[in-house]
Amino acid sequence: MSPREIAIVSYASLLAVPGEPQRDEVELLLPVVTEAVARSGIPKRELGFTVSGSCDYLGGRPFSFVMALDAIGAWPPIAESHVEMDGAFALYEAWVRLQCGDVDSALVYAFGRSTQGDLGRVLAQQLDPYTLSPLWPDDTALAALQARALLDRGRVSERDFAAVAARTRGGDADELVQRPYTVAPLRAHDRGTVADGAAAVVLAAGDLARKVCKRPAWIRGIDHRIEQHQLGQRDLTRSVSTALAGERAGVGKGPVDVAELYAPYTHQELILREALGLGEGVEVNPSGGALAAHPLMVAGLSRFGEAAERIIDGSANRAVAHATSGPCLQQNLVAVLEAAP
């Protein structure tokens, strides 16, 4: 049985770089959800399913996703779910939910105020609790190990890292590569700017998508793969989970116009490009990606939204959207979005 036709029909986001000093989560989220729903053309009360992605560790308080429901207006009661992950994985849950066939639309949203704590220390909590987490390695230290391994493989250089930064966040690669290391072999421009933000996407199935959107971004394939948690048990220079997810999503079945990749570090974009087989002709992260703004929990859903926007506005016919989770690209979700269903 082939999966039901599901499309992204609208997207909205709010990224506060380097951080939002005044608004709380609900105040960040409410205008974003309101805009995405309005742009979808589907009345809020008629949305069949709602699912969100967020993480209590970012704000240091439990059940923050329950408070965030103030931004949705969950009365009369709605069918609602939550993942303690990036909103892109909530989108995957919505896609699965819509496959059941009894509802035709879903609201997916994500919020994250990554600047409230020390993100490096927060991310150390996602590591193995016996052997790694008690050492408190921050995300930059682990990413630097991965970058070092990639350099040692010999096919890319630190200047290639700088070129990714220059392309997505401005600057001159030859000048950037002269700057001092933060954690060798990484420099400040190699790590995405920690930010606060919120994003929302509306999904619709079949005829409803065609009715409310002139050029829906049809999800032609979507797949999620996970690798070993322990960093020592995998080859950090390759992303086999991304390669497999990309293959199952059908990335190689046609030319790719644009790819939005969730790469919090410059060298990770190079690893992801290789895993997905994206050639020089593919426009990667025209939005600036997670390097320009990295609100945890939101950056992945933003990649899906940004890629979909390019289909919806007619500037691309085939796009790849990618989201990652876990240390050093442990989990990867890949989708192919197309103008033709």
Partner 1 sequence: MSDASKPAKKDADGEVRRIKAPVKLDYTVTAGLALSRFLKGVTAGKLLGQRCGVCSKVYVPPRGGCPTCGVGMGEQVEVKDTGTLTTFCIVNVPFEGQTMKLPYVYGLIALDGADNALHHLILAPPEEVRMGMRLRAEWVPPESRPASMEAIRWFVPTGEPDAPWDSYKEHL
d(CA 60, CA 55): 9
Length of the chain: 341
Q: Which amino acid is at 162?
A: A
Give the three-class secondary structure for 195.
coil
**Is 43 among the residues that bind partner 1 (CB under 8 A)?**
no
Within positions 91 to 130, which residues make up the interface with partner 1, using CB under 8 A?
113, 116-118, 121-122, 125, 129-130
Nearer to partner 1, 118 or 175 (CB): 118
Count of residues in contact with partner 1, rule CB under 8 A: 38
> Which listed residue (48, 59, 197, 221) binds partner 1 by CB under 8 A?
59
Q: In terms of Cα–Cα distance, which of 64, 60, 197, 69 is closest to 116?
A: 60
State the Cα angle at 63 between 61 and 66, rounded to 5°: 130
C-alpha dist (Å) from residue 254 to 100, 168, 334: 28, 25, 15
Site string for partner 1, 138-177 (x = CB under 8 A): ----------------------------------------
> Which listed residue (5, 17, 26, 149) binds partner 1 by CB under 8 A?
26
Q: What is the dihedral of CA 200, 325, 185, 240, to 10 degrees?
A: -120
Q: At what angle do helices 299-312 and 87-99 cross, to 10 degrees?
A: 60
Give the three-class secondary structure for 56.
helix
CB 29 → partner 1: shortest distance, Å? 8
For residue 336, how far is the Cα from the chain centroid?
14
Piece in contact with partner 1 (CB under 8 A), picked from 69-77, 151-159, 261-269, 311-319: 69-77
> Which listed residue (24, 35, 160, 274) binds partner 1 by CB under 8 A?
24
**Is 323 among the residues that bind partner 1 (CB under 8 A)?**
no
**Is 298 among the residues that bind partner 1 (CB under 8 A)?**
no
Nearer to partner 1, 27 or 207 (CB): 27
Nearer to partner 1, 90 or 336 (CB): 90
**Is 39 among the residues that bind partner 1 (CB under 8 A)?**
no
In the numeric block, which tokens belong to residue 111? 């919020």
Site string for partner 1, 73-92 (x = CB under 8 A): xxx-----------------
**Is 44 among the residues that bind partner 1 (CB under 8 A)?**
yes
Residues 105 and 207: beta-carbon distance below 8 Å: no
